[in-house]
Structure formats: structure tokens, C-alpha cells
Amino acid sequence: MALLRRSETVIAGILLLAMVLIGTINPAFWQLDNLFSLMRSNVIIGIMAMGVLLVLISGGIDVSFPAFAVAAMYLTIKGMLALGYNGVVLPLLAATLMGLAFGAVNGFFVYKFRMIPLIVTLGTSAMVRGFLLGVVGTSMININKMPTALIDFARTDVVSVTKADGTTYGLTAMVLIYLGLALAMHLVLRYTMIGRSAYALGGDPEAARRAGFDLRKTIFFIYCVAGALAGFAGLLHSGMIWLANPRDFVGLELDVIAAVVLGGASIFGGRGSVLGTMLGVFMLVMVKNSLIIMRVDTTWQLVVVGLIVIAATALSAWRDRRRAA
């Protein structure tokens, strides 16, 4: 009974229902290569969603992470090209640190000036994107110039299958990175003091302060981690699509926030889980990708995502109000 009442169970149920529905409309949905490509599409949004989950749990909101992701990605690749460096670990580390530094700016403004996170992150987002496109450059770095090590790394498959016609497809190993990061986030949220303090901050900042939580440390941690995850995901993304586009990720913030809210995180803070978020991410990616195989015109994508956001937030608001009553 307790299991039934958990929001994760509900989301999983809806997810299964949606899968059956899509599978009935077009059986191609259940083909292994479609499922593999679905999981592949989960990776980048999923990693970013972990950061957004943390921010939402603390009662904040972050719309700057796509800008951070694209800046960390583009700057790192530009740097690699300039230095003639070809590798995986150091660039990923550099992108992560860059994201972290950007995130620290958010943390600084949110903590120091007690400003609404939405407005702060709108500002940092505009600054970072403006700087990237206005100073660093607007040209794409194509496959012929992309560092080969990154592409080879992102091309690793866990399993690979050969189809009857000789083409092969596989499940990208990047899924493992996503799962690893998700597990880490789960452990941090559940079992560490800093993770609990994020929940406390989201539940009631004043109560958290009086209970002795260090709000400064918590806020900086939250926004730094969100930025770091975005930076990491950004570089990984360019490896996976073999392209570094400084105009990438526009509008991605809505998709990710929608996924996290869909996964049961409360928009008022204090509630949310990694498992729910992963389910929410899967649901969103699945619906978006399946519009094509359900033969819905792609121009409807934005409308569908918007409606999902509204429905998910309405449900979560309704749930939270009922709980409060």
C-alpha cells in the first residue's frame, strides 16, 4: 500500500501505460534499436536533470544551465583545438570545472543578495551566451575538426547487435555514466548532510537556518553542482553528436525542468527523488521522440512539451495542496 502511494510508482505506471499506447499505434516502438536510441537520448537531459533536481529540491529554479553547458563545451573544444590536445579525461574535467565556476556565480548572487533564483539565472544565462557568441565565436566546429578522442570515447557501446542487413547498432556506454551520476546523486541526497540540508532549505529556509544548517554552504553547493553537471553534460553531448555548436541547447531548460517536475519533484521545494526524475526524463524523451513514429507533425513538439509541463505542474501543485490541507 505504501508502495502504491509513492509518486515514483504512479509515474512508472503512467510511463508503462504510455509505452503500451505508443507501441500499439506503431509496433516499431518496441524494436531494440528504437529502445537503444531512446536510452541514448536520455543521457544528456538526464545528467542535467540531476542538477536541476537538486536546485528544485532546495526551492530554487535554474534556467542558466543550458548556457553553462554550451559555454563549457565550446570553450573546452576551442581550447583543445588551440592546444592541439586530444584526450578525454582532462577536457571533461575542464568542462565540469568551468560549469562549476559559472554555477558559483549563481550561488553567490542567490545567497549574497537574496535575489529570486529565476532572475539571477536569467541574467547569468544571458551574460554567458552573449559572451560566448559575441566574443568567442559563432562558428560551428564540425566533425572534421572535432577532437577524435572525444568522439571515439562517446562512441563506445555496451552491447552491440548486428542486424540482418549487416548494419550494427548498440547501446551507448554513456548510459553507464548517466546511471553512475544518478546513483551518486541519490546517495548524496539520501545519506549526506549536504544532501539533507538541500531538502531542509527547500522545506523551510528559516527553519533550516535555525536548525543549524549552513545555508551559504548549501546554496553554493547546489548551484555549483548544477553548473558542474551541465558543463560535463555539454562536452559529452558534443562528443556524442560529433559537433560543437555554440548555439546549441536553446530552450532546453524547459525540457529538463519539465522532466524533473514530471518526475514528482515539488515546485515549492523540499520534495523530489532521483528515481522519479529518471522516470520523468524517460517519459519526456519518449513522448518527444515518439511523436515522429506516431506520425504527429514535428511542429507540434513545443505544444506537447508545454502541455506536459502544465499538466505535470498542475498535478504536483494539486498533490502538494492536498498534503498541506
Partner 1 sequence: MKTQMNIRSLINRDNNIVQLLVMTVLIFAVMTALSPDKFLRYYNFESITYIFPELGLLSIAMMIAMLTGGIDLSVVGVANLSGILAGVLFHKMAGAAGIADAGILTVLLGGVIALGTGLAAGTVNGLLITRLGITPILATLGTGQVFTGLAIVLTGGPAIVGFPTAWAFLGNGKILGLATPFVLFAVIAVLIAFVLSRTALGINLMLIGTNPKAALFAGLKRERMVLYSYMLTGVLASVAGIILSGRTNAAKSDYGTSYLLQAVLIAVLGGTNPAGGRGTVLGITIAVAALMLLSSGFQILRFSNHLIDFIWGAFLLLVIAINAYKNRTR
Which residues here bind partner 1, judged by CB under 8 A? 61, 109, 112-116, 118-120, 122-135, 138, 254, 257-258, 261, 267-268, 297, 299-307, 309-310, 313-314, 317-318, 321
Closest CB 90 distance from partner 1, rounded Å: 28
CA–CA separation, 47 and 228 (whole Å): 10
Beta bridge partners of 170: 160
Would you list the DSSP string of 121-135? HHHHHHHHHHHIIII
> Quick check: 72 and 102 in contact, CB under 8 A?
yes
Shortest distance, CB of residue 117 to partner 1, whole angstroms? 10
Measured from the CB of residue 99, what is the shortest distance to partner 1 in angstroms? 17
Min. distance of Cβ 38 from partner 1 in angstroms?
22
Burial 269-303 (b: 16+ CB within 10 A, else e): bbbbbbbbbbbbbbbbbbbbbbbebeeeeeeeeee
DSSP 273: -
Nearer to partner 1, 128 or 174 (CB): 128
Residue 228 vs 258, nearer CB to partner 1: 258
- Looking at the Cβ atoms of 123 and 170, the one nearer to partner 1 is 123
- In the complex with partner 1, the residue whose CB is nearer, 141 or 146, is 141
Nearer to partner 1, 216 or 321 (CB): 321
Task: Please identify, using beta-carbon distances, which residue of 132 and 287 lies nearer to partner 1.
Answer: 132
CA angle 75–255–58, rounded 5-degree value = 85
Rounded CA gap, 33 and 26, in Å? 14
C-alpha–C-alpha distance, residues 317 and 295, integer Å: 32
Give 125 or 197: the residue with its C-beta nearer to partner 1.
125
Alpha helices in the chain (DSSP H): 2-5, 7-25, 32-57, 65-83, 89-112, 117-131, 148-155, 174-191, 193-203, 205-210, 215-241, 252-262, 274-293, 301-324
In the complex, minimum distance from the CB of residue 105 to partner 1, in angstroms, rounded to a whole number: 8
The least CB distance from residue 322 to partner 1, in Å, is: 10
Q: Closest approach of Cβ 282 to partner 1, in Å?
A: 20
